[in-house]
Structure 1
Amino acid sequence: MKRRAWIKVAGGMAAGVLAAAVGVGLPACSKEAERSASAPLREPGAARIVATIAPLGALTRELLPEGAQLRVLLPPGRSEHGYEPTPVDIAALARADVVVYVGLGLEPRVEEFLKKNPSARRVDLSMAASLKLEGDEHNHEHEHGHAGDAGRGGGSETTSDDPHAGHDHGPIDPHVWLDPVLVKEFVTPLADAVDHAVRAAGPMSAEQETKLAALREALAKKVDDLHAEYGAALEPLAGRSIVTHHSAWGRLAGRYGLKVAAVLRPIETAESTPADIAGAVAAVKERGAGAIFVEPQFNNESAKRVADAAGVKMLVLDPLGGEDYFVMMRTNLTALQDGLAGK
C-alpha cells in the first residue's frame, strides 16, 4: 500500500509539471492538490537517475549500485540534435533524484524543463557546466561551418591538449563525451551525483560506500586506459585529415592531433546541400583523406556520393553507441585507424 500511495503522488506531481512545461491545462482537483502538497518529496525506494543520451547513461551505469534505476531519454538510432522529450520522459525527469545531461544547448527542452521546475531534492548535473565549458549562447543548429571550412563548428586545424581544441572557439562543440580527457574529469562530479541519488533513496551502509568508491576508481582507470589507447594508436597518424558526417568530432580530433577537413552536414537537422557535397569532395582530394566517416543516426546517401566521387571508402563513426561507452569508443578508434591508414 505504501508503494502504491507513492506512485499515486508521484504520478500527480509529474502530471502537474508536465502541464506547466508544455502548457497543457489539467482539470483542477483541490483534494488531490492538498494530498500532493502534504506528501513527502521522496519516500525510500530505488535511486532514480535520468541521462539524456546513451554515452552519459553508459558512464552512469558503471557507477550504479544494484537496484538503482537508470533511464536514458534518447532512443537508439536517433540523433542527439533536435530531440524533443515525450510525456513519459517529462514524467521521468519530474521523479528523478539526478538528471545527467550535456548542456551547451544540446538538449534545450530538457534544460528548459529543469529551469522551470527546480527541485531542492534533485541534482541537475550538466557535464559541460561541471567542466566549466558553459558560456556560449549560440544557436547550435545554425552556426557550424560548411564542408571545407575547417575549424568552424568543431572542424579542427588545431592540435593541442587544450580541451577546447578542435574548433574555432566561437560555437562551443557540445560533443564533450567523445574526449576521454574530459570524460575523466567528469567522473568525480558524476560519481558525486550517483552518491546523492543513492542517499536520497535511503540510508547508505558502510558497505555501499565502499562499493561506490571502488566503482568510482574503476571507472577513472578505464577512462585513463582508453585515453592511453587512443594516444598510442593515433600518434603515428597525427596531422592526417578526416571528413565527418556532422560536427561531432572536433574535440576528439584536436585531442589526438587529427584535422577535420570537411563536414557533410554543417546543420545537423538538414541534409547536405550540393555545395556541401562539392566542398567535401574537394577537401578529400586536397587533404588526402582516406575515408568518409558516416554516422548511423543520419542518412548516408550524400556521404556515399562524396566517397564515390573522391574514390575513397566509407566508414562508420558512432557518437552515441549503445549501453557500453568503451565498446563504442574502441570501435570508433578501429574505424579511425582503418580510414587514416588508408587500408
Structure 2
Amino acid sequence: MRPTPRAARPRSLIVFLLTALSATLATACAAGGDRPRVVVTTNILGDVTRQIVGEEAEVSVLMQPGADPHSFGLSAVQAAELERADLVVFNGLGLEENVLRHVDAARAAGVTTFGVGDAVDPMTFRAPDDGGPGDEAGQPDPHFWTDPDRVRAATGLIAAQVIEHVDGVDAAAVRANTARYDRQLADLTAWMETSFERIPEDRRALVTNHHVFGYLADRFGFRVIGAVVPSGTTLASPSS
C-alpha cells in the first residue's frame, strides 16, 4: 500500500474542515430562519415586547433609541422585514406617521398586526382652552405610554397576541415573563404616585415640547398649561 503524500494530507484536512464549517453554518442559518419573529415599530413598545417574549422569539425593533416616531421612515429592507414577520406590534393612532402604510401592506399580505394604542382605551387631545392643541382637539392621543397603568394593560394584550399568533413559543414562559414585568410596572406606578404626591396640587403644571404628557397629567393630577410646539406631533411648528 502506497503511503499518502505528506503534502496531500494538509490539503485533505483543509477540505474536510471547510466542508464541516459550511454544513454547520448552513444548519445555523436554517435554524435562525425558522425562529419565530416579532417586529415592533417603536423602541418603547420594543422594550415592552422584549420583556414579554424573552428568548421565545426574535424581536426586531424598527426604530432605534432616540428616533422620533413622528418623522421616522423605513428602509426597503425594513419594509420587507414587516412582511416576513409572524406578528407586527405597532403603536397606531397616527404616531408612526410614515410607517403605518407599511403596516397596512404587511396586514394585506397576511401578517398578523396589533395596534396597541387602540386597545388601551385611548384619550383624545383636549381643546386649546384646556391646554390642548388646536387642530387636533378631539383626535386620539397616541402617547399612552406616559400612563403606567395603560402600559400594564398593553403588556397583557401583547402577551396574548404573542401566545395566539406566534407559533413555536412556550406560552408558560411568555406568561411568566409577563407576570414578572407586570410586577415591575406596579412598583414603578407606586413610586410615581409617592413622588408626585410631594408636589402640591396647585403646582402640578406642565409645559412640554409638544403635547405628549396628556396621559401622565390625567393619571397623576397635573395640568398641561402649554407646549412649545402646540401640536400632538413634532412635525408641527412652534408658535410665536
| TM interval, short-chain normalised | 0.7 to 0.9
Deviation for aligned residue 1:124? 0.7
CA offset digits 1:280-309 (Å, max 9, x no partner):
xxxxxxxxxxxxxxxxxxxxxxxxxxxxxx
**Relative to structure 1, is the Cα distance of residues 112 and 120 closer, same or farther in structure 2, using a 3 angstrom cutoff?**
closer
Q: Which residue of 2 aligns with 1:151?
A: 131
Q: Which residue of 2 aligns with 1:230?
A: 192
Say which of 221, 228, 237 aligns to 1:264. 228
Give, in whole Å, the separation in 2 of the partners of 1:120 and 1:220: 33
- After TM superposition, the score normalised by the length of structure 1 is 0.54
Contact kept in structure 1, 2:69 and 2:97, CA below 8 Å: no
Give, in whole Å, the separation in 2 of the partners of 1:216 and 1:189: 10
**Relative to structure 1, is the Cα distance of residues 109 and 269 closer, same or farther in structure 2, using a 3 angstrom cutoff?**
closer
Give, in whole Å, the separation in 1 of the partners of 2:211 and 2:78: 27
Q: Any gaps of 5 or more consecutive residues in structure 1?
A: 8-42, 155-167, 276-343
Q: Which residue of 2 aligns with 1:186?
A: 154
Contact kept in structure 2, 1:144 and 1:171, CA below 8 Å: no
Contact kept in structure 1, 2:39 and 2:89, CA below 8 Å: yes
Give, in whole Å, the separation in 2 of the partners of 1:78 and 1:174: 16
Give, in whole Å, the separation in 1 of the partners of 2:76 and 2:162: 25
Runs of 4+ off more than 6 Å: none
Say which of 41, 57, 73 aligns to 2:46. 57
Identical aligned residues as a percent: 29
Instruction: Tell me the SS of whatever aligns to 1:265.
Output: coil
Contact kept in structure 2, 1:99 and 1:125, CA below 8 Å: yes
Instruction: Tell me the SS of whatever aligns to 1:236.
Output: coil
Deviation for aligned residue 1:86? 1.6
Deviation for aligned residue 1:108? 3.7
Q: Any gaps of 5 or more consecutive residues in structure 2?
A: 1-22
CA offset digits 1:30-74 (Å, max 9, x no partner):
xxxxxxxxxxxxx97212111111110000111123262111112
Q: CA RMSD in A?
A: 3.2
Give, in whole Å, the separation in 1 of the partners of 2:119 and 2:237: 33
Give, in whole Å, the separation in 1 of the partners of 2:60 and 2:127: 31
In our comparison, the structure showing a higher alpha carbon Rg is 2
Instruction: Tell me the SS of whatever aligns to 1:96.
Output: coil
Give, in whole Å, the separation in 2 of the partners of 1:84 and 1:44: 26
Quick one: which amino acid aligns to residue 170 of structure 1? G
Contact kept in structure 2, 1:82 and 1:269, CA below 8 Å: yes
Give, in whole Å, the separation in 2 of the partners of 1:112 and 1:128: 16
Deviation for aligned residue 1:113? 2.5
Map 1:104-143 onto structure 2 (within 5 A).
104-118=93-107, 122-133=111-122
**Relative to structure 1, is the Cα distance of residues 193 and 169 closer, same or farther in structure 2, using a 3 angstrom cutoff?**
same
Instruction: Tell me the SS of whatever aligns to 2:153.
Output: helix
- After TM superposition, the score normalised by the length of structure 2 is 0.75
**Relative to structure 1, is the Cα distance of residues 76 and 178 closer, same or farther in structure 2, using a 3 angstrom cutoff?**
same
